[in-house]
């Protein structure tokens, strides 16, 4: 599947620490047959533990973005091959819109865990963690509002074109032709053309939102990684001599 959203990347400054991961396993991992769980038999080196935190946040964000890619792919599909039934087309369009914002907002759950690990490892102060959390919440606040518009669509306004799609769907369900005929003599608004136009524009807008979010997350990850790369890890002096 071709990617419409940029990929999130691991900070280059921590690449060397992550390379040591393969030398740490598998001799320090044990499978407990009683609990059916995997146990690490030796504490991870500090620098590797910190780098693994970055690997986790990058993996979490990329998981969100890959799910968003599926939503974008489905929007492209209904724009190219719209469902024959207007009601189904309407429901798919609004469901995909809701899914996008629900999935995007999972980032809000991933970052606090990452920031907490940074604080626990002594790489960020409590005030710094709260300030970073506030910055993330501010970045996501508008997306919460948009999500709520589609979650409570009965009490919040949508675009005129989306109202047209809903009215066409209702007309179709009542046995009428799936189209609206303006009283001012303008051309009729017909299904599936209304859906196809909406899905195409919505996909373009969502790609921009997701791309901006990747850039925002990448900026936070890269900036904090620079702080970490300047940190004196235990044992570094001994290894250099």
User: Is 240 contained in some domain?
Assistant: no
Task: Specify if 238 maps to a domain.
Answer: no
pLDDT tens per residue, range 166-199: 999 999 999 999 999 888 878 899 999 999 999 9
What is the mean pLDDT of the segment spanning 106-127? 85
Checking if the pLDDT of 165 tops 80, the result is yes
Asked if residue 42 is part of any domain, the answer here is: yes
Is the pLDDT at 156 greater than 50? The verdict is: no
**Per-residue model confidence (pLDDT) at position 239:** 43
pLDDT in tens, 33-89: 776 665 665 566 777 777 778 888 999 999 999 999 999 999 999 999 999 999 999
**Cis peptide upstream of residue 26 (ω within 30 degrees of 0):** yes
Please report whether residue 21 resides in a domain. Answer: yes
The verdict on residue 6 lying in a domain is no
Position 214 in a domain:
yes
In a domain? residue 3? no
Residue 99 lies in a domain: yes
pTM above 0.85, yes or no: no
Number of independent structural domains in the chain:
1
Ranking 59-73, 140-154, 206-220 by mean pLDDT, the lowest is: 140-154
pLDDT at site 22: 57
State the residue range of the domain holding 175.
12-231
């Amino acid at each position: 599947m071709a990617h419409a959203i940029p990929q999130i990347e691991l900070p280059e400054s921590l690449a060397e620490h992550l390379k040591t991961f393969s030398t740490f396993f598998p001799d320090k991992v044990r499978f407990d047959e009683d609990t059916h769980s995997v146990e690490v038999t030796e504490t991870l080196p500090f620098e590797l533990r910190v780098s693994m935190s970055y690997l986790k946040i990058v993996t979490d964000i990329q998981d969100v973005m890959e799910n968003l890619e599926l939503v974008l792919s489905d929007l492209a599909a209904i724009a190219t091959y719209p469902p024959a039934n207007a009601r189904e087309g309407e429901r798919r369009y609004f469901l995909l819109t809701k899914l996008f914002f629900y999935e995007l907002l999972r980032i809000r759950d991933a970052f606090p865990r990452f920031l907490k690990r940074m604080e626990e490892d002594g790489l960020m102060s409590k005030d710094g963690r709260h300030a970073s959390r506030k910055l993330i919440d501010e970045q996501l606040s508008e997306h919460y509002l948009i999500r709520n518009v589609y979650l409570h669509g009965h009490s919040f306004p949508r675009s005129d074109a989306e109202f047209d799609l809903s009215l066409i769907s209702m007309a179709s369900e009542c046995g009428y032709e799936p189209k609206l005929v303006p009283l001012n003599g303008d051309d009729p608004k017909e299904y599936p053309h209304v859906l196809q136009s909406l899905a195409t524009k919505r996909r373009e807008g969502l790609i921009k939102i997701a791309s901006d979010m990747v850039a925002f997350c990448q900026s936070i990850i890269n900036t904090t990684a620079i702080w970490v790369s300047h940190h004196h890890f235990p044992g570094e002096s001994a290894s250099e001599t």
